[in-house]
Structure 1
Amino acid sequence: MAREGMEAERDVPLLLAELRPGQAQQFDWKSCCETWSVAFSPDGAWFAWSQGHCIVKLIPWPLGNTKLISKAFDHRSCYVKPAEVRSRGSNLKEKTLDCGQIVWGLSFSFSPFLNRKRLWATSGTQEPCSDFSCLILATGLNDGHIKVWEVETGCLLFNLSGHLDVVRDLSFAPNGSLILVSASRDKTLRIWDLKKDGKQIQVLSGHKQWIYCCSISPDCSMLCSTAGENSVLLWSMRSYTLIRKLEGHQSTVVSCDFSPDSALLATASYDSCVIMWDPYTGDKLREFCHISLLPALDYSTSDDHLRSLRSLCFSPEGLYLATVADDRFLRIWALELKAPVAFAPVTNGLCCTYFPRGGIIATGTRDGHVQFWTAPRILSSLKHQCRQALRCFLTTYQVLALPIPRKMQEFLTYQTF
């Protein structure tokens, strides 16, 4: 695949800002300070930070009006102009959610169909939202519960119970249907319908170990789940049945993410490899291996664990991947290259996520900190935009059935890396 748009930079991303707890915690829970999850709202107006010790911070974005920044944004960044902060609405206030349990997973969704009577009752106000579409945040907790909050008011809407162990990850269906998938250490995935007052509509069993991650494809047709196993499970979001098992990793698979057009699935493992799959056929398209980035980093056999991956995510335009590993580096990969195009030192990194409009990556650490980094920005080619537009509604099998040249089929199915 030819390079898309402008040439990507091959340098260290700039550290734009860092969030740290504003004061020392009252708890002496050394093992509970981790930031296991961070998330941007779909519209980019809010940032959710699981800062440890049962606390989630809801912070208006950009970060110009928060008191938690220990390092100010670089003055060259267009995201931090004071005028822009004011124009985004001075009525947005930082909120603190006390979840009562260690928070492991976070997921945002808009809720145009939520029962407004429930919102009125829980918020205690006449009008809970400025319009019919309220922003909500789901939090997965250590005791197996899931608490769902209304962001604008900070009110608790649901307290879902059913899991028997830690809720490690959460994923809302991107279509706004308010279907929520939860992944737990009890080795099950559970499907919840918030339109029906949080009714549990399905339990998916198939993993034999703790489940680490779950991800719903942008077209809402598939669900991917990873556990303490070498394999990955793909489920149908229509019938809630197992589609296939993907095998290729040599160790525990800990993270997964779909590309924005649902045509690719990336999985990351403790074996220090990222595998790119075609989720429709189960074919392995390519593999990214974490190797030494600098001469000073000489990995020996005894230090293989230092390359264990923790998290990955696709960029919004679908041409890059970001990964966080135990070797204390954030890497950014272009899909068509074998080596990272950018990397930065992230100490004790656990999670990463892209800003919805690109250009920034947030990483969370074991120390309860969050760092924001610049990410390569490129202008997607017309070819890639056309491919994405087609793949949003055509499966791989449908593309292969089209009466078009083979090279075009290979391009549309991402086989020309």
Structure 2
Amino acid sequence: MGKLQSKLKHSTYKYSRPDGIIEERIQTKACLEYGPAHADSVSVVAALNSDLCVSGGKDKTVVAYNWKSGDVVKRFRGHEREVTKIACIHGSSLFFSASRDRTARMWDLRGPAQPRQQFSGHAMVVTGLAVSPDSSQLCTGSRDNTLLLWDVGTGQCMDRASISRNLVTHLCWVPQEPYVLQTSEDKTIRLWDSRGLQVAHVFPAKQHIQTYCEVSEDGHKCVSCSNGFGGEGCEATLWDLRQTRNRICEYKGHFQTVASCVFLPRALASMPIIATSSHDCKVKIWNQDTGACLFTLSLDGSGPLTSLAVGDTISLLCASFNKGIHLLRVERSRGLELQEVAAF
């Protein structure tokens, strides 16, 4: 399936000038319309490499998609309900999916379209999925208040931990460390030591449900985001993972739940920057150090934005409830701007 058409799209965005004045501009551009990756809402997208992404959604499928050519590479079926999370082993053909069917599965892009391994042990929807840096272990979390640690090679459960009211919303593994970061509906962020699956640290509780988390490439910082409505909550928070583990900065400006947050490549700007996506149909770029919003792109009509992933050094992939996956490009000719260049 190649691109279907190219059409002009109009979008409104806000741009922060160097002098601090925020301007509202109208952007008109040609946006490629590729064949859709999914037949229904997309819940999650993750980058497998600089050409391929893996996504999952309400149609119960996992799809490997070449977002540069607009082609479905392979479609994987096996889950009985909506796919909720994806975790990739970068530099390989292997990736994992989690689902409302209470299972996680491992897939191989180079193998058959059947799961290579299945991980069954949760009593409710699997809402967290993280693979260890050496790819030997998988950690899953669920609304059943439990975390499970799995041996990837055998599919056997190695360890289990349960905390009352710890409804897991997301998991990510700290690079080059035995630690797993976890967000929860109980408004806390926990750092787990995978060696025995014990809580190593609990961050100061927030006022709203924590929906997502990501760790910086160097493993020194993490960012989490919050649910909310009408501008209350609806924020992202930067934390220190090294010594104090205190809140460093907050990023406020969304008007509905912030569903995803990512660290952007350092090559993009002279300052460290992060990006967030929200149910308010907006993607924002922030100065990581000051909390200033540098750019806001509105993807009108897309419905809630559900997931955000770094595609390559200048590209972001944004999953949405109504219009599939958006390919966004960071332009630096007039400062930092986001442009939608394709949708699929």
User: TM-score normalised to the size of structure 1?
Assistant: 0.65
**In the alignment, which residue of structure 2 is the partner of 1:325?**
278
| Runs of 4+ displaced beyond 6 Å | 10-15
Q: How does 1:99-178 map to 2 (within 5 A)?
A: 99=78, 100-109=80-89, 135-153=93-111, 154-173=113-132, 175-178=133-136
| Bigger helix share | 1
Structure 2, gaps ≥5 residues long: 1-17, 228-232, 334-344
> Could you tell me how far apart the structure 2 residues matched to 1:22 and 1:361 are?
16
**In the alignment, which residue of structure 2 is the partner of 1:344?**
297
> Could you tell me how far apart the structure 2 residues matched to 1:15 and 1:48 are?
25
Of 279, 284, 305, the residue aligned with 2:241 is 279
**In the alignment, which residue of structure 2 is the partner of 1:71?**
none
Output the amino acid matched with 2:60.
Answer: C
3-state SS in 1 of match to 2:41: coil
Matched, 1:96 2:96: no
State the 1:39 CA deviation.
0.8
**In the alignment, which residue of structure 2 is the partner of 1:186?**
144
State the 1:63 CA deviation.
2.6
**Which string of whole-angstrom CA distances, capped at 9 and with x for unpartnered residues, describes residues 14-65 of structure 1?**
7865556379x5xxxxxxx331110111x324211214311121123x4315
Q: How does 1:30-69 map to 2 (within 5 A)?
A: 33-41=40-48, 43-60=49-66, 62-64=67-69, 66=71
> Could you tell me how far apart the structure 1 residues matched to 2:136 and 2:83 are?
21
Q: How does 1:287-366 map to 2 (within 5 A)?
A: 287-290=250-253, 306-317=255-266, 319-346=272-299, 347=302, 348-355=304-311, 357-366=312-321
Contact 1:16 1:374 in 2 (8 A): no
3-state SS in 2 of match to 1:364: strand
> Could you tell me how far apart the structure 2 residues matched to 1:47 and 1:189 are?
26
Q: How does 1:205-244 map to 2 (within 5 A)?
A: 205-206=162-163, 208-244=165-201
Q: How does 1:3-14 map to 2 (within 5 A)?
A: none
Q: How does 1:256-271 map to 2 (within 5 A)?
A: 256-270=213-227, 271=233
Contact 1:217 1:223 in 2 (8 A): yes
> Could you tell me how far apart the structure 2 residues matched to 1:22 and 1:276 are?
32
Output the amino acid matched with 1:333.
Answer: W
> Could you tell me how far apart the structure 2 residues matched to 1:358 and 1:205 are?
38
Q: CA 1:276 to 1:17, structure 2 compared with 1: closer, same or farther past 3 Å?
A: farther
User: TM-score normalised to the size of structure 2?
Assistant: 0.78
What is the root-mean-square deviation in Å for CA atoms of aligned residues? 2.6
State the 1:179 CA deviation.
1.2
> Could you tell me how far apart the structure 1 residues matched to 2:206 and 2:34 are?
34
Q: How does 1:371-410 map to 2 (within 5 A)?
A: 371-375=326-330
Q: CA 1:377 to 1:152, structure 2 compared with 1: closer, same or farther past 3 Å?
A: farther
State the 1:134 CA deviation.
5.0
Output the amino acid matched with 2:265.
Answer: P
Q: CA 1:359 to 1:34, structure 2 compared with 1: closer, same or farther past 3 Å?
A: same
Contact 1:52 1:368 in 2 (8 A): no
How many residues of Structure 1 are paired with residues of Structure 2 in the alignment?
295
> Could you tell me how far apart the structure 1 residues matched to 2:137 and 2:331 are?
33
Q: CA 1:309 to 1:15, structure 2 compared with 1: closer, same or farther past 3 Å?
A: farther
State the 1:349 CA deviation.
0.5
> Could you tell me how far apart the structure 2 residues matched to 1:17 and 1:183 are?
37
State the 1:176 CA deviation.
2.8
Higher RCO (CA < 8 A, seq sep 6+): 1
State the 1:376 CA deviation.
5.3
